[in-house]
Structure 1
């Protein structure tokens, strides 16, 4: 059985000034990854990733997800390339449709999110590869654009989505798939199959998020958290209990196809840094011993 990468999800309901301590604690605790979000209208995923990368030396930082409607393809390429050159091998950029209601609020909602994501991803990948790109699509238009400072090594580009066509597109165009945060192992298994239908092959990565809590009243806290993300308690979403309980839940997601799992603390977690240390020192060794 493959041991998944274990990380922590930095939920943007926390104030930006809390990120530094969380990132450095995650690295000190031995976690593999830190995942930052770009939810409207809370925090910039790229700005958060840049800060976390600068404050750490080893930690891999993923962005899940940058909404394609919000971001110019050329500017996204410039920003990703800058971080990839400055912190080689440690950045995982992810792109997606964005929440459509939020895109409407921002005035950037499009008629065909799938078309936009295809055009954006295709052009972005070519730019990051150092190519000169000219394209005139329905949404993405570039005229002889080439980065002066493309990444010095390939940058993995992951896609996110929910519906079957989006999952298939991730399998077709992405190096990995970023899934929503309130899924069961069966949900993950189905999403992986949809990505494979789109063409995902060997080496395709899948990122899942696990809502989790430990300590007193852990199950009650998870049961209160899960409905905030569109699911009901008792449906197999989330994990509560000791290190073994969390390791078992992470292992179930890995067995369903996840290659990386980020733990999302509940909103009422009283000691986020202590929780991060618990993950690195108690849960991670159990995963390695599977």
Structure 2
């Protein structure tokens, strides 16, 4: 599925830059049947996402921006059991693997976070908000760019030096897993009774062999070994050195198969 980018209401032209196309408001309105409620597939912090079909048969997802809404202000508290949380992790991982490894050229999202993962009525995840995304040709090792994204999710090499690779998305996804498991925000600066970010706290719990302490207290009857394994996968994704992080296809494999994790390769900073 492609993501449509809305242009001006007055124009009906399509601007093409490489594989990226801009569509007019008129075209996107027609594709979504005037943004009919039956085509609504999700809601993000900035507006509603609709499914649609262009004249040539291409399926698209169109995000409308709401001037009245504020990022993160339109939220409902929903209790998610472990089965749903695990499915959200796996589905998001598959989506990122598609962006990184199946598209040509690949796409680095640059802003993977909880509010950009949209859930449909069946809690199936869809990656949204490609406003910061970068096309990433395979023949280069990294892109030097201005630092954009959300504090708490940014990989250290990107945050400190503006060095962007696909592994920046992997780091952000690891933080997202920790939020899904814990039910807590990565940006809150106090965990475990001390001034630590969520990732720092989880690293400490790993060293102490107490990972279950970070699990959402509202999560009942969960399979402990499976949850601990998921947390460890998140720690693999958030290793300080980018080259030590897995690719997203490897993450999908780790989440989907009950293979043994090689924790000797897991280097957790103090």
**TM-score where L is the length of structure 2:** 0.26
Specify which structure has the higher proportion of helix.
Answer: 1
Specify which structure has the higher proportion of strand.
Answer: 1
Higher relative contact order structure (alpha carbons within 8 Å, sequence separation ≥ 6): 1
Larger radius of gyration: 2
**TM-score where L is the length of structure 1:** 0.25
